[in-house]
A and B are shown apart, each in its own frame.
Chain A
Amino acid sequence: MAVHVRPVLLMLRRCIAVATVVVAVQFLAPAGAAERPERPPAESGSLADQIDGLIDEARELPVAAPADDAEFLRRLYLDLMGTIPPAEETRAFLDDPSTDKRTRLVDRLLASPQHARRMQVWLDVTLMERRGDTHVPSAEWQEYLRRAVLKNRPLDELVREILAADDTDPARRPASKFYLDRGGELNLLVRDVSRLFLGRDLQCAQCHDHPLVGDYEQQHYYGLLAYLSRSFVFSADNQPTVFAEKGVSDPVKFQSVFSPDDTYETLPRVLESEPPAEPQFPGGQEHVVAPADGVRPIPKYSRREQFARDLACADNRAFALNWANRLWALMMGRGLVDPVDFHHSDNPPSHPELLDLLADELVASGFDMRHLMRSIASSATYGRSSALPDGIDPKTLVPEQYASGPLKPLTPEQLCFSLLEATGIAAAHRAAVQQELTTGDPRLGELLAVDSARERLADEVAEQRVYSRLQGNLGAFISLFGAPGGSPQNNVQSTVHQALFLSNGGPLVGWLAPGSSQLVDRLAKLSDADAIAHELYLSALSRPPNDLERGQVAGFLAARAEELAKAVSELAWALCTSSEFRFNH
């Protein structure tokens, strides 16, 4: 067997051309203390214009009209808050005559504690893909993510913390979930690091250069693996399991299944970048704590910390492109590179300049997710109606032309929370929590009412309490509407079981049952059909009914005057299961 130790730069070879996480909310310390200063809105405005310019110049189809206020409000709420807006919020927004109300809405939502929750869910689902818990409880990990978003911590810093996590700092224990709850499986970690942080699914390159994607080489796979090959899951009696690391390792060698006689070797490196300069220690002196039976080693030099620095940084273009693309996909329903983990030269972005621009902006803003989302939300492209102009067959739509607002299926969480909102349950819990906070504990009420920083804190506490009251409803939705644990969650399949769940056996029927439904009982007390129609559409579809719909509701209710509540319940069910509800449009 020939062993070629190749200089890294010459490695050019293609074998084939192809909790009631009322987590220590410290009541007296403002939670947002470490918050970064917001960028002036003018800059996001100009980025929004650039986005529109690049999208418009590449489009051939005629475009849809701008979304009206109701459509925009619902879309923005779902994207930034993870749920449809409360009816009173919709009413207020529609009644507000000011011209800058959309801009103010974007800013207000981005600063709200509910936005931190929405992004917590998104980051958790993106990074852990609904894997079961093994070593780090989800509640702790999710709270860690929520607080990071609440403080608008730079995304690169957060990822560095996750990739460097070694449990030496107990406060950062949750960050080690990424490694530990994948069982420290090296091949799984390399695949997921490449997919989730570099936008490249390098799995095929484990055994050989990717047969069909020239850019994905086996040396890339093993370059990443070399950063992690000193790491291992360490357990000792009476101590939490940790992802530990040794200070030494054998060189990482690999061979292609196509030419098993040739063995190659690689240093740690991220894709095509140079291997890091690593400190060398005399043999036997590589550790602060040397490995021994039952003893967790601590190396003088951590390759994993180096990994975090080399991968999650402004100089790593793949990292910036990956996150710019994923944030665009979050807002616009598809990546500029699609699928989001398939960046390579034969699958170019639909709008290369735009992706570059967004990545530049992400880097320049210090990996500020809020800044990017604000800019996208402020663009005309984002704010376009999902209804195509007359005369265009929706089936001829080319999604990457962004001629109309995209239809995005609600995630399991969005669907569950939106149904809780539409049926009046969320509002009832919000009211109960307000009651708790103002009268339940007078001292708390006083503390929270002192100044505006405290007011923010009050919002945060209220959000946490409402969430903890509602989160028990999520499980059934996740198991039926989500993808299986451990697989990508950004695609959904509609199944007959979902329809059966919403129609017959799931909680929705109970949430709309006359006599016990917040929504139905409220509406059934209203004086006339017109008022019922108005409230119903506002609550479920976040818009007033049009004349045709008003007429239909009136006709339907007139024929059922004997059993009005039941008829209202049927109407409400129909709206909650309609496509208009099921999709963010």
Chain B
Amino acid sequence: MKCNHACGSQEHGLARRSFLGTMLGAGASAGLGTLVRPAAAEELQRQQKRVLVCYLAGGVSQLETWDPKPRTDTGGPFRAIPTSVPGVHISELLPHTAQQMHRLMLVRGVNTNENDHGKGSYIMQTGRRREPSTDYPYMGSLAARLLAPEGAALPGYIHITPGGGGSISAGEAAFLGPRYAPVVLGNGNPPQNTALPDAVSVTSDAARQSLRRQQDERFLRRRRTALTEAYTSTYDQAAALMAQREVFDVSKESEQDHERYGTHDFGRHCLLARRLLENGVTFVKVSHSNYDTHNENFNFHIEQLGEFDRTFATLINDLADRGLLESTLVLVLSEFGRTPRINHLYGRDHWGTAWSIAMSGCGLQLGGTVGATNDNGTEVVDRQVDGGHLFHTYLRALGFDPTDQLTVDGRPVQIADPAAEAIEEVLA
């Protein structure tokens, strides 16, 4: 029976002694998903690296965005236009983004070989294929764990969704634990439960919190442990988060900025993302729906990208102007691309075989492309990469060694898929 799970072969260099040392530490503390924070992380915290992901949900068409194939059997009706980088052309549906091309790197040889929404999304956000026996953390949770300053009041991983209520999506943190799970801001609303209920006044809250602390003080005098400290500190974190609730209030941004970003939801959400990043949030994901264009692909892309283009270009430009782009990794992702073949409903279907993503910031090589597909986009012909390569690349851009080990319930797990490596040529 052949083994098809790569569970980390680098760990064999680890000495038994150091492994047992780690285990003892793990046993004494939480036990689950105990991760030895690489020493480099302390340094990185000071540099405040951040990540912004624009997630084009449903699967954006690479042919209508980053890798147009005009005048071919698969190209569709749109032209390719020149960009701020001579020789690089993208779809005419992205005129504003084209002017930011010097700040972007296009990866045109993505082959994740996965046409299922859920599985594709998992690959693109964990850098691994789904395994039945282990769930791996999403990069937002990993970033929250590795990059977010200890004791920060704001959540390390925020996901702004087009609609729906707020929630905590514990599964994405996997073995890192729910502390690193995304806080979901449904339609950009502040995190759940961060406002006092109507029945509880500020004075009343102060009174009850002070009573709680008194009670704790007596009880814990002879019982204080790491677990009780972790519990009582969550009330301080709650107070700190509630005090910073204004950070989530995008209406505090100028009317002019609202205009520049667009008055539609995605514009508002991206403006909120800028606000969050400026206030020190480590990882912000903004989802834009819905690109799953099985019919009327071209009309829908005109509509969707009409929102995306100007907003995204404005955001990139702002991050650069404000000096944030150097420390912020920006990614434009989907779960897959769309078929070169145009179906009888003028749609394009799911396609993980030859598609593109865009990256920016964080010291990456910018203003170019890496990888290529053939003339009509049906296969990758140069520098083929999958989710694992991309994940390695993100981690390296953020200053991490993707081959570092995490200790999960006594089992060493490499941060990124051991079967892949970074795309060296886009790293500075």
Interface residue ranges, A against B (CB under 8 Å): 16-18, 182-183, 185, 187-188, 191, 201, 203-204, 206-208, 211-212, 222, 225, 252-255, 257-258, 338-339, 341-342, 346-347, 386-390, 392, 394-395, 397, 399, 404, 407, 409, 479-480, 482-488, 490-491, 493-501, 503-506, 509, 513, 548-549, 552, 556, 566-567, 570-571, 573-575, 577-580, 582-583, 585
Which residue of chain B lies nearest to A574 when distances are taken between CB atoms in the complex? B211
Which residue of chain B has the shortest Cβ distance to A389 in the bound complex? Answer: B222
Q: Does A187 contact B170, Cβ atoms closer than 8 Å?
A: no
Any chain A CB within 8 A of the CB of B71? Answer: no
Are the CB atoms of A409 and B227 closer together than 8 Å? Answer: yes
> CA–CA, A203 to B413, complex, Å?
11
Say whether, besides A254-B1, A347-B23, A495-B234, A487 and B222 are in contact (CB < 8 Å).
no
In the bound complex, residues from chain A placing their C-beta under 8 Å from that of B427 are none
Neighbour of A483 across the interface among B177, B227, B238, CB < 8 A: B177
Closest chain-A Cβ to B26's Cβ sits at a distance in Å of: 8
Complex alpha-carbon distance, A225 and B1, angstroms: 11
Which one of B133, B168, B183 contacts A187 once the chains associate, using CB atoms below 8 Å? Answer: B133
Q: What are the 4 tightest A-B residue pairs by CB atom distance, in nearest-first order?
A: A505-B193, A574-B211, A491-B32, A500-B193
Instruction: Tell me if A395 and B224 are in contact (CB < 8 A).
Output: yes
Q: Assess whether B47 is interfacial by the CB under 8 Å rule.
A: no
Note all chain B residues with C-beta closer than 8 A to A503: 193, 196, 205, 235, 238
With CB as the reference atom, state the residue of chain A lying closest to B34. Answer: A491
> Can you pick out 29 interface pairs between chain A and chain B where the beta carbons lie within 8 Å of each other?
A18-B12, A188-B132, A191-B133, A201-B410, A203-B7, A203-B411, A204-B7, A338-B27, A346-B16, A388-B223, A394-B225, A407-B225, A487-B174, A493-B179, A494-B227, A497-B193, A500-B194, A501-B193, A503-B235, A567-B207, A571-B211, A573-B212, A574-B208, A574-B214, A574-B215, A577-B212, A579-B220, A579-B228, A583-B227
- How many A-B pairs have beta carbons closer than 8 Å: the answer is 231
Q: Determine the chain A residues whose CB is within 8 A of the CB of B233 once the complex forms.
A: 494
Nearest chain B CB to A499 CB, angstrom units: 4
Q: Are A211 and B11 within 8 A (Cβ)?
A: yes
Contact (Cβ within 8 A) A495 B179 = yes
CA–CA, A102 and B213, complex, Å: 32
Tell me which of A183, A388, A570 has the highest count of chain B C-beta atoms within 10 A of its own C-beta: A570
With a CB–CB cut-off of 8 A, which chain A residues contact B306? none
B215 in contact with A580 (CB, 8 Å): yes
User: What residues of chain A lie closer than 8 Å to B200, measured between beta carbons?
Assistant: 504, 509
Contact between B238 and A407, CB atoms less than 8 A apart: no
- Give Cα distance in the complex from A355 to B132, angstroms: 33
Give every chain B residue within 8 A of A187 (Cβ-Cβ). Answer: 5, 132-133
Instruction: Find the residue from A394, A482, A493 having the highest chain B CB count within 10 A.
Output: A493
Among A212, A567, A574, max chain B CB count under 10 A is at A212
What is the CA–CA distance of A409 and B183 in the complex, to the nearest angstrom? Answer: 23
Q: Which of A339, A570, A582 contacts B204 (CB 8 A)?
A: A570
Q: A572: nearest residue on chain B (CB-CB)?
A: B208
How close is A407's CB to chain B, nearest CB, in angstroms? Answer: 6
Instruction: State whether A407 touches B223 (Cβ < 8 A).
Output: yes
Known: A207-B3, A207-B7. A183 touches B410 (CB 8 A): no
Inside 8 A of A495's CB, which chain B residues have their CB? 168, 178-179, 181, 234
List of A residues within 8 angstroms of B224 by Cβ? 394-395
Scan residues 261-278 of chain B and give those whose CB is less than 8 A from a CB of chain A: none
Interface residues of B in 185-227 (CB under 8 A from A): 191-197, 199-200, 204-205, 207-209, 211-212, 214-216, 218-220, 222-225, 227
Query: CB-defined interface of B231-253 with A at 8 Å, one 1/0 digit per residue?
Result: 11111011001100000000000
Quick one: given A493-B230, A500-B238, A504-B193, are A252 and B211 in contact (CB under 8 Å)? no
A188 touches which of B6, B133, B179 (Cβ 8 Å): B133
1/0 per residue, CB under 8 A from A, across B364-385: the answer is: 0000000000000000000000
